[in-house]
Structure 1
Amino acid sequence: MHDLDKALADIVAIRSQIARDTAFRGLGSATLAATGLLALTTASGQALWLGEPTGRPILFFGLWIATALAAAGLIGVEMVRRSRRLHSGLADAMVWNAIEGFLPAVGAGACLALVLGRFAPDQIWMLPGLWQVLVGLGLFASARILPRAVQGAGAWYLLAGLAVLAMGSESHALSPWLMGLPFAVGQGWLAVIMHGAGGRDGDF
């Protein structure tokens, strides 16, 4: 029984190693482009109907958090669907590896929002830029299983986040466009990368 347990453990370890060394093809270009369009739509809606968002940060960030959850849901469903078709028996491990690269960035983003909202509400204007920096770092962390060109999109998010922080440092104002445009461009860039890498297969 001990030998059987060891053999099963070895098989699991081998499958995990193969999954870590295999290029992930679970991201579809159409879905990524749709999330960029979703960010642009949210920014447009806030610019038209929200007015001056600085005085209503809860509504401003609430809409963006809802947008992020919707985008994550779209990407998650597509990841599972494509992985089961393209990665077969390694699908679960491949999806987990892809998620694992972004978990620290997601956790850090949530903690930053909670800490700034609770202890430094006057500095909450920094969140859009900080979130963009974290997305860039998440892409860099995931580059080992994604096309190398993804690092370019990661650099875009990093530089865009720093630029947003610099532009907002004087007025401390919240801007739908400083939140939406970097994400729209970044997701569009990712869509082009995945399209070129074969990520269009099986898209909607």
Structure 2
Amino acid sequence: MQDLDKALADIVAIRSQIARDTAFRGLGAATVAGTGFLALACAAGQALWLGDPAARPGLFFGLWIAAALAAFMMIGVEAVRRSRRLHSGLADAMVWNAIEVFLPAAGAGACLALVVARFAPDEVWMLPGLWQVLVGLGLFASSRILPRAVQGVGAWYLLAGLAVLAVSAETRALSPWTMGLPFLLGQAWLAGIIHHAARAFDDDR
């Protein structure tokens, strides 16, 4: 029985290692681009109907958190579906590997929002920039499972986040466009990279 357990553990370890060394193809370009347009729609809606975000920061951030959850759901469902089709028996391991890559940045963003809202509510203006910095770091980490060109998108989010912090520092104002525009451009760029990588893979087959 011990030999059987050891053999099964070895198989799991081998599958996990293969998953780590295999390019993740679970992301769909159209879905990733769709999350960028979702950010644009959220920003436009807030600009038209929310009024001054500083007067209603809870609603401002609540809408962005809802948009982020919707984006995660869109990408997650697509990733599972595509992985089962493209990665076959490694699908589950590939999906969990991708989650492990992105989870630290996502978790840090959620914890950061809770801490700032609870202990430093006057500094909530920093959250849009900080969130973009964390997205950039998450994309840098993902370059081991995604095309290396995603490092450029990671750099975009990092620089955009720092720019948002610098611009917002003077007035400490909240603007939906400091979230909507960086995410629209970043997700569109990421979608282009994924589309190009998918075409290159198909051409090599």
Question: How high is the TM-score relative to the length of structure 1?
Answer: 0.97
Q: Which residue of 2 aligns with 1:58?
A: 58
Q: Which residue of 2 aligns with 1:134?
A: 134
C-alpha deviation, 1:199, in angstroms? 7.2
Q: Which residue of 2 aligns with 1:106?
A: 106
Write the letter of the residue equivalent to 1:94.
Answer: M
The answer to whether the aligner puts 1:190 opposite 2:190 as a matched pair is yes
Q: Deviations over 1:110-155 (max 9, x none)?
A: 1111111011011000000000000000011111000000000000
Give, in whole Å, the separation in 2 of the partners of 1:122 and 1:183. 24
C-alpha deviation, 1:55, in angstroms? 1.1
The answer to whether the aligner puts 1:30 opposite 2:24 as a matched pair is no
Write the letter of the residue equivalent to 1:185.
Answer: L
What is the alpha-carbon root mean square deviation over aligned residues? 1.2
The answer to whether the aligner puts 1:124 opposite 2:85 as a matched pair is no
SS at match of 1:198: helix
C-alpha deviation, 1:3, in angstroms? 1.0
| Structure 1 residues 147 and 11: CA distance shift in structure 2, 3 A | same
Write the letter of the residue equivalent to 2:43.
Answer: A
C-alpha deviation, 1:2, in angstroms? 1.1
- Percentage identity across paired residues of the two chains: 80
Give, in whole Å, the separation in 2 of the partners of 1:127 and 1:200. 37
C-alpha deviation, 1:36, in angstroms? 0.3
C-alpha deviation, 1:77, in angstroms? 0.2
Write the letter of the residue equivalent to 1:36.
Answer: G
Relative contact order (alpha carbons < 8 A, sep ≥ 6): 1 or 2 greater?
Answer: 1
Q: Deviations over 1:71-92 (max 9, x none)?
A: 0000000000000000000000
Write the letter of the residue equivalent to 1:84.
Answer: R
Give, in whole Å, the separation in 2 of the partners of 1:197 and 1:52. 42
Give, in whole Å, the separation in 1 of the partners of 2:99 and 2:139. 11
The answer to whether the aligner puts 1:144 opposite 2:155 as a matched pair is no
Contact 1:194 1:200 in 2 (8 A): no
The answer to whether the aligner puts 1:41 opposite 2:41 as a matched pair is yes
Long gaps (5+) in structure 2: none
SS at match of 1:59: helix
Give, in whole Å, the separation in 2 of the partners of 1:163 and 1:62. 23
Aligned residue pairs, count: 201
C-alpha deviation, 1:200, in angstroms? 11
SS at match of 2:24: coil
Q: Which residue of 2 aligns with 1:172?
A: 172
Contact 1:25 1:199 in 2 (8 A): no
